[in-house]
Chains A and B, each alone.
Chain A
Amino acid sequence: MEEIRFIAGSGGLGGGKVLAEPVEEALRHNLHFIAADAGTTDAGPYSLGSGRSNYPREAVKADLSILLVAASRAGIPLLIGSSGTAGLDQHVDWVIDIANEIAIENNIKVRTAAVYSEQTKEYLLGLMKDKRIRALDPAPHLDEQVIRDTEHVVGMMGVEPLQRAIEGGAQLVIGGRCSDAALYAAIPIMKGFPEGLAWHAGKVMECGTQVCVKAGRGVVYASMSHDSFTLRVFGKNLEVSPQSVAAHSFYENGDPYIHVESSGSMDLEQCRYEATNDGGVKVSGSAFTHGDAYTVKLEGAVCVGYQSVCIGGMRDPFFIRHIDIWLAEVRANIENSVSAILGRHLKSGEDYHLVIHQYGRNAVMGAKELETTLPREICLVLEVTAKTQEIATKIAEISRQPMLHHPIPEWSGSITSIAYLHNPVPLDRGAVYRFAYNHVAVPRTKEEMFRMKFVDIG
């Protein structure tokens, strides 16, 4: 095979950026496959912890429908990675159910592979015992107790499970957690194209049109030979430039050149980016080196507690000029009241946490805020985190009064210090999670962490 052609159907399935026309335009170039990433950790640990998706079902269905019908008509595979945001097993099943509905509505039959990437606690404890879990830098502390406390852990698959799915005859691959770039690299590597080019093409395509000079709605197209690949875009007002493609390797990466994957690392330092005369960008010189071990990145979330928040504004300049002292006194009052009412065993900073954000002053930058002038108005957000929702809500209820009427020297008599936004004041946020792993697993075989199921949908 001399040339392989493929598109990024979406940079985030469910984000509503898939349009039928640019997909049609790209299909005229005799594509070999379509891929689309459907997940991220960027939105936070909630999806991984709770199992919910970041996008409504209808939004995922709308995007997937365009891509699945197009791929099916062209007779080419469609690969979806990191299904349902976090790529949990239940997320894979959720997207398969959506795909099945689309297939039935469009009267098509699709050989589908579900690739599951969730990891059991027993398996992870075994890996830990055998010293097969390695910390990346920086990493939170991980021990057996953390593994037992984890809600869900997924392993990030590389190209190998996707290749097995394609070899097994899948025309639709619904993947659990997946390296974004692997979605695009899997088939070119199978067909003998250089790994450096295959992975690099995936790297620049996985965010969809964000690789453009200005992002918009459309598809990113690549044609790859054995010494370079050329990127083009289809969609209104979209263009790529050598600099926009080169700069994309900056985006959301700590290192602009080295990108670590399961089977090795991309090295993009020696790459060349050249404009072609049909508006594309030709990329060459992408390198890939195999690591000393096959590693699988782990992502896991633990529940840190339950939250309740109180939101209110402060406008009186007398209060605002005393804000630091006022807040310290209010916090002490809340902590004393919690002890007196709920019991002395509840310790602030251990059994519950009070964080007060000062929007308008330094909520965004915190201690790193350089601006010191006081604003005209401050929005205070009191965030209570406790081990149960019941306790978090009670502490927020107890906090309402100290925030409402805590005095300052300027005024005598009863004064109201905050303009609350809501009634009731506390807003319950439910369970909140933290990412508990920045680690890789070193599995005994490349296959053992990923399970596959073939189903015929439609």
Chain B
Amino acid sequence: MTKLSELASLVRSKNAGPFVLTFDVLFDDPKVYSRVKKSKVLSRQLFASLYGVSENTVRFFECDNALGFKFSIPRPIFQGDIGDSDQHGGQQYVPLMEVEIP
């Protein structure tokens, strides 16, 4: 088992507009990307459980030409609203780093 953070070239989160948070897991080696894709570990179910959100709010994409996976969810607090402590949504990816890939 290897942590996603040791396999990916980039794990990040960011606003996709003020109302959506998006999470990217990108690779620079097609073999490593395939290994992660074939493992089927990354899924809407996994993301929903990591972030405590309902599965039907999670969008999930596997993009072979970009060697990347993407998750998108509605922002739990809209950007800049009272209580939002990550204006750019840029530090929300950490739970994904710890995901173990066989």
Residues of A near any B CB (own CB < 8 A): 41-46, 136-140, 242-243, 246-247, 249-257, 271-273, 304-305, 353, 355, 357, 363-368, 370, 383, 385, 432-435, 438
Contacts and interface: CB of A to CB of B under 8 A. Distances in A.
Given A42-B88, A368-B51, A433-B80, A256 B66 contact: yes
Interface centre among A140, A242, A254, A433 (most CB of B within 10 A): A254
Contacts, number: 118
A160 to B, nearest CB: 22
Given A255-B59, A433-B80, A434-B80, A139 B19 contact: yes
B28 A243 contact: yes
B61 A256 contact: yes
A45 B81 CA distance: 9
Interface in B1-44: 14-20, 22, 24, 26, 28
A426 to B, nearest CB: 17
A304 B82 CA distance: 8
Given A246-B65, A256-B70, A435 B16 contact: no
Nearest to B72: A254
Given A138-B19, A365-B94, A45 B80 contact: yes
Contacts of A137: 74
Given A246-B65, A368-B92, A355 B80 contact: no
Interface string B64-102: 011110101011101111110111100110110010000
B86 A255 contact: no
Contacts of A272: 65
B97 to A, nearest CB: 11
A250 B72 CA distance: 11
Contacts of B51: 368
Contacts of A251: 14, 24
Given A246-B67, A357-B85, 14 more contacts: A44-B80, A136-B19, A138-B75, A242-B65, A243-B65, A253-B16, A256-B63, A256-B66, A364-B91, A370-B98, A434-B82, A435-B19, A435-B79, A438-B19
Q: Which 9 A-B pairs have the closest CB atoms?
A: A246-B66, A254-B72, A254-B16, A435-B18, A138-B74, A247-B66, A44-B80, A254-B20, A246-B65
Given A250-B63, A364-B91, A435-B19, A44 B79 contact: yes
A44 B24 contact: no
A364 B75 CA distance: 14
Contacts of B74: 137-138
A272 B79 CA distance: 34
Contacts of A304: 81-82
Nearest to B88: A42
A247 B26 contact: yes
Contacts of B91: 364-365
Contacts of A140: 19, 78
A252 B15 contact: yes
Contacts of B16: 252-254
B85 A364 contact: yes
Nearest to B15: A42
29 contacts: A41-B18, A44-B18, A44-B87, A46-B80, A138-B19, A242-B65, A243-B28, A243-B66, A246-B63, A251-B14, A252-B16, A252-B22, A253-B16, A255-B61, A256-B61, A256-B63, A256-B68, A353-B83, A355-B83, A357-B85, A364-B85, A365-B91, A368-B95, A383-B82, A432-B82, A434-B82, A435-B79, A438-B17, A438-B19
Contacts of A370: 95, 98
